[in-house]
Structure 1
Amino acid sequence: MLKTAISTVALTVAILYPSASVVAKEGDILLRVRAIAVVPNDDSGSILPAFSGEGVSIDTAFAPEVDITYMVADNVGLELIAATTKHTASGETGVTGGIGELASTWVLPPTLTLQYHFAPEAKVRPYIGAGVNYTLFYSEKADANLEAAVGDTDVNLSSSFGFALQAGIDIQLNDRMFMNFDAKYIDMDTKARLSTANAGVQRVDIDINPFVFGVGIGFKL
């Protein structure tokens, strides 16, 4: 369905803008502004030691994203993205499942990818990329439901370092502006530590590994 939609948009742009010139070439700097959905492909261990067999799930978040790409060659670019999203962790089963939302955190995942751009002289230019990601979790906070059950709770999530994979497409609108569709997979995990007066210290390992889907507009600076 998504492939069909992108093909339809690409055909429409090609008809409406037949005389547009090349957007990206060696030395160019491209700025993209996207709306993104961060969709966790999460997998959790048990909340230990008190809640064996009970894990957590992470919700989807939506946010704006800005990225800058420097074209080191006509076909090769370096992209750095900047975005931050807020996510909630909820219990899945048992006691913590009954509590529901356990904690929230802001996530800052700067990601650098090396991209290969196909058909740099075409109006429709797909690309693929691979790179590295560093994720910082900040402003962690226990949910009121959790604190009502176990008392005041301090939440801490460890930072993460991993790889990133990317695929996307630029569709030229005019000499300096283009549409962009982008998808990424980010290797992301954390170790959560919850400290309470009543339940002691609980720990849980969480693989978040989100897919990040974006759509937006790009500009040649």
Structure 2
Amino acid sequence: MKKTAMILALAALGLASQAMAQQSPWQVRARIVNIDPADKSDPVGGVGAANQITVSNKTIPEVDISYFFTPNLAAELILTYPQKHKVYLSGTNIGTFKHLPPTLTLQYHFTPAAQISPYVGAGVNFTRIGSVKLLNGLGDLENNSFGFALQAGVDFKLDKNWSINLDVKKVQIRSDVFVSGAKVSTVKVDPVLVGVGLGYRF
């Protein structure tokens, strides 16, 4: 009886350890993401003016780190390096700027144990704007932007560790535009980000 009890206890311990290993709270992903700005701004020159400030599209690499508090609930930190965009006024290139847009979202995963696992998320974005070169030095942008972020995606599991990920985010990024120190517009970058990548669950 003692031997049987010991064998059962060791077996239970092994199964528990295996279950814990399979339920690691950490996941990392690498994505390729297309940034598609909303291309909206307040009219430059006042109400009714036709001049609009727009920002170029861009495809970027992205890394995110997720922590699962429960099988369904996770937090995701989305990271990249400073990205350079062209700025246009009514279609004419007037310069460039760089932005660093880390985003933190809280996600709900509907079917975390299934091979196909969709999720939704919401959170906040902080964008640091720098290296502004507009209108030969006459133009400038507000340095920081805080905004909301919405997210939806799906993981296609390849095995217990690896998965393919599709992800869509809408992020609020806005900045006042200045010329010779005077505010002339507010540009609403507000991009949609569509990404595809590979995930690994530890």
- The answer to whether TM tops 0.5 is yes
Q: Match for residue 184 of structure 1?
A: 169
Choose from 17, 21, 25 the match for 1:28: 25
Letter in 2 for 1:170: D
Choose from 44, 48, 67 the match for 1:47: 44
Runs (4 or more) in structure 1 with deviation over 3 Å come to none
Letter in 1 for 2:192: F
Q: How far has the Cα of 1:153 moved from its partner?
A: 2.8
Q: How far has the Cα of 1:183 moved from its partner?
A: 0.3
Alignment of 1:97-112 (within 5 A): 97=91, 100-112=92-104
2:102, 2:173 → 1: CA distance?
12
Q: Match for residue 220 of structure 1?
A: 201
Q: Match for residue 122 of structure 1?
A: 114
Number of positions where the alignment pairs a residue of Structure 1 with one of Structure 2: 182
Q: How far has the Cα of 1:118 moved from its partner?
A: 1.0
Q: Match for residue 187 of structure 2?
A: 206
Contact 1:183–1:214 (CA under 8 A) maintained in structure 2: yes
Q: Which has the higher strand share?
A: 2
Gaps of 5+ in 2: 1-18
Choose from 154, 159, 179 the match for 1:169: 154
Gaps of 5+ in 1: 1-20
1:41, 1:73 → 2: CA distance?
35
1:214, 1:86 → 2: CA distance?
18
TM-score (norm 2): 0.82
Letter in 2 for 1:218: G
Contact 1:47–1:202 (CA under 8 A) maintained in structure 2: no
Q: Match for residue 105 of structure 2?
A: 113
Q: What per-residue deviation string (whole Å, max 9, x for no partner) do you get for residues 8-34 of structure 1?
A: xxxxxxxxxxxxx9x974x51000000
Q: How far has the Cα of 1:47 moved from its partner?
A: 2.5
Alignment of 1:137-156 (within 5 A): 137-142=129-134, 146-147=135-136, 152-156=137-141
TM-score (norm 1): 0.75
Q: Match for residue 34 of structure 2?
A: 37
Aligned-residue CA RMSD (Å) = 2.3
| Pairing 1:193–2:178 present | yes
| Pairing 1:73–2:54 present | no
Contact 1:137–1:159 (CA under 8 A) maintained in structure 2: yes
